[in-house]
Amino acid sequence: MSSTIVKIFSAKEPDEGQKKALLPVLTERYGSDISFEYIEEKDLTGGFRLEVGNDVYDYSRSTRLKQLTEKWMQSVRGMDGKGDIIPLLKEELESWTPEALAEQIGTVDSVGDGIATVVGLDQAEYGEILLFEGGVRGMTLNLSKEDGLGCVLFGDDTGVLENSKVRRTGKVAGVPVSDELLGRVVDALGYPIDDMGDIRPEKYLPIETPAPGIIERQGVHEPMETGLLSIDSMFPIGRGQRELIIGDRQTGKTAIAIDTIINQKGKNTVCIYVAIGQKASSVAQLTRMLENHGAMDYTVIVCASASDSAPLQYIAPYSGCAIGEYFMNRGRDVLIVYDDLSKHAVAYRALSLLLERSPGREAYPGDVFYLHSRLLERSACLSEANGGGSMTALPIVETQAGDVSAYIPTNIISITDGQIFLESNLFFSGQRPAVNVGLSVSRVGGAAQTKAMKKASGALRLELAQYREMEVFTQFASDLDDATQKQITYGKGLMQLLRQNQYSPLCHHRQVIVLVSAMAKLFVGIDIEKITEARDQLCEYFEHEQPHICERIDSEKDLDNGLRQDIIVAAGKFLGELCLH
């Protein structure tokens, strides 16, 4: 075996004594067979630098000064402007001992399309952040002995040159987290992009962490109300659940997620909206909308827009999830929206093809299922022993021409606890939100509803299913008997009641009142066009004239027969009068 060559860089050649002093540390790592090679470097006026293969030990004065400055900066930041800085710095200086920086340095073999191949970093880990000359950061995604490391770049690849140096950082990709994130718009790496100043991080969390295990969880038992009657009544979402919003483009998918965020006002929930591959202008508009409705105070927006590189779009949902976990692990309820995962899968496909992984079905790589399952598994309802926090996920998926059986949609449907299916035909006929009652489902079901909602919504789904069937059946029939006609009018009225404008969520007691009145057929006498107006007037009436009923619904969260009767009597009277006018 040939001996290990240790290169010594310094301004003056070290004498034998100095070399001897280095030996114990070096033999421990590289064996006893060591030979020194001296290389003169005039700029290194203080200290020296050692290079052994790809490992570098920097012991120069400038590096030590840099270390000290960094340490001081940390102390100054930690002080938060309070107290006297001088004694602290003195103390730091006295207790400070320089550390030799042990680094592995590799070289760029090839670069292009946001991907760099790096050789010489044998010990780099999967997902580790590498630092390129010029400051660009990248993340390792392919570890192959023969071809070197496949690394995706988070910045502009024009600054990365072949044969330039690459340093390991020893850190996996992470995001800075703290309470200051609330109300902010950040990029996929967690840095602010909203001109509102720096965010002081409390700590860094890795973007990829294992999902909580079974023991750490408890069953879903609390509702995550969307404020949309058509969803809360029939497809209730529970805190800790994953409910997919799926539909063609421009069918109101984002609108449902935004309404749900607005509906969390005053409910002590943290909301995170992850925008993947959308136009930056749409995200700006959406941020303004949330601001106008006072929802930004408890919301974080993570944005990897269409102009961002594929690697940033790829990590954005994981970063958002890590931010969510920060709040969940401190006992908070979190709602996270991934808008949308189809674009996420496309970004990952682009990356994989560039990394020369073999394409599978529809050119997606074989692990695309795992891509989303490991993300969505991190939503949870933690047990009381673990703080009792929760993270509810609303992933969004765009279908092509309503095809829910395409590759990505079927994958995600199988991972989630249910789906809200939005249909173009309904949307264009004015039925908004365009929820398809037949194809939507919530597998957590009643466990995620209050007793009051469960009792109030009763057979709504069944009635609508009957109406739909009858409507198809009688489409071409001209003379219908009275009973059928009545059933159809009733069904039409119910569909009308479920229409809801954007940004106008209905609170719990309003939904219960409307449902009880609807199931008691109190809206039957009202013109179809006036039903939504009558619904809103009814809610106003109850809040102003019957506040005790509203209070009872909200405090008891249950609906006994007495309360139901009270609602029916009051609503009957009000709607009856409305009919007469």
Query: So which residues are the catalytic ones?
Result: 443
For residue 255, the surrounding DSSP H or E stretch is helix 253-262
Tokens of 261: 């965020």
Q: Is 449 in the site for Mg ion (CB under 5 A)?
A: no
Q: Is 251 in the site for ligand ATP (CB under 6 A)?
A: yes
Between residues 104 and 260, which has the closer beta carbon with respect to ligand ATP? 260
Between residues 9 and 427, which has the closer beta carbon with respect to ligand ATP? 427
The burial class, CB within 10 Å (0-12 / 13-18 / 19+), for 537 is middle
Residues 391-420 that bind ligand ATP (CB under 6 A): 398
Of the ranges 87-95, 249-257, 361-369, 479-487, which one interacts with ligand ATP (CB under 6 A)? 249-257
Closest approach, Cβ 177 to ligand ATP, in A, equals 28
Nearest to 416 by CA among 220, 140, 155: 220
Between residues 187 and 423, which has the closer beta carbon with respect to ligand ATP? 423
> Residues with Cβ < 8 Å from 138, sequence gap 6 or more?
116, 129, 130, 132, 151, 152, 153, 154, 311
Q: Is 399 in the site for Mg ion (CB under 5 A)?
A: no
Q: Is 502 in the site for ligand ATP (CB under 6 A)?
A: yes
Cis omega before residue 433 (within 30°)?
yes
Tokens of 564: 């139901």
Q: Is 250 in the site for ligand ATP (CB under 6 A)?
A: yes
Which of 184, 239, 242, 432 touches ligand ATP (CB under 6 A)? 432
Of the ranges 12-20, 218-226, 494-502, 527-535, which one interacts with ligand ATP (CB under 6 A)? 494-502
Tokens of 10: 């310094």
Closest approach, Cβ 500 to ligand ATP, in A, equals 6
- List the helix and strand counts (H, then E) for the chain: 18, 20
Between residues 191 and 428, which has the closer beta carbon with respect to Mg ion? 428
Amino acid found at 20: K
Q: Per-residue DSSP letters for 204-253?
A: EEES--PPP-STTB----SB---S-HHHHHHS--BTT-B-EEEESTTSSH
Q: Is 292 in the site for ligand ATP (CB under 6 A)?
A: no
Closest approach, Cβ 90 to ligand ATP, in A, equals 58
- The residue nearest Mg ion at its CB is 254
Q: Is 343 in the site for ligand ATP (CB under 6 A)?
A: no
Of the ranges 88-96, 253-261, 371-379, 540-548, which one interacts with ligand ATP (CB under 6 A)? 253-261
Q: Is 288 in the site for ligand ATP (CB under 6 A)?
A: no
Of the ranges 104-112, 113-121, 244-252, 315-323, which one interacts with ligand ATP (CB under 6 A)? 244-252
Closest approach, Cβ 248 to ligand ATP, in A, equals 7
Q: Is 233 in the site for Mg ion (CB under 5 A)?
A: no
Binding residues for Mg ion, rule CB under 5 A, total 1
Which of 117, 254, 299, 416 touches Mg ion (CB under 5 A)? 254
Q: Per-residue DSSP letters for 542-557?
A: HHHH-HHHHHHHHHH-
Residue 125 CB-half CA count within 13 A: 8
Between residues 138 and 247, which has the closer beta carbon with respect to Mg ion? 247
Write a three-state SS string for 380-447: CEECHHHCCCEEEEEEEEECCCCCCCCHHHHHHHHHCCEEEEECHHHHHCCCCCCECCCCCEECCHHH
Q: Is 251 in the site for Mg ion (CB under 5 A)?
A: no
Nearest to 205 by CA among 325, 70, 75, 317: 325
| 500 contact, one of ligand ATP, Mg ion, none, CB 5-8 Å limit per kind | ligand ATP
Closest approach, Cβ 253 to Mg ion, in A, equals 5
One character per residue 255-294, x = contact with Mg ion (rule: CB under 5 A): ----------------------------------------
Nearest to 456 by CA among 573, 305, 559, 333: 559
Instruction: Let me know: does 454 contact 446? Beta carbons within 8 Å.
Output: yes
Between residues 10 and 254, which has the closer beta carbon with respect to ligand ATP? 254
Q: Is 433 in the site for ligand ATP (CB under 6 A)?
A: yes
Nearest to 454 by CA among 236, 263, 239, 238: 236
DSSP 8-state assignment for residue 359 = P
| 249 contact, one of Mg ion, ligand ATP, none, CB 5-8 Å limit per kind | ligand ATP
Q: Tell me which residues touch Mg ion (CB under 5 A).
A: 254
Chain residues that interact with ligand ATP, rule: CB under 6 A: 247, 249-255, 398, 432-433, 500-502
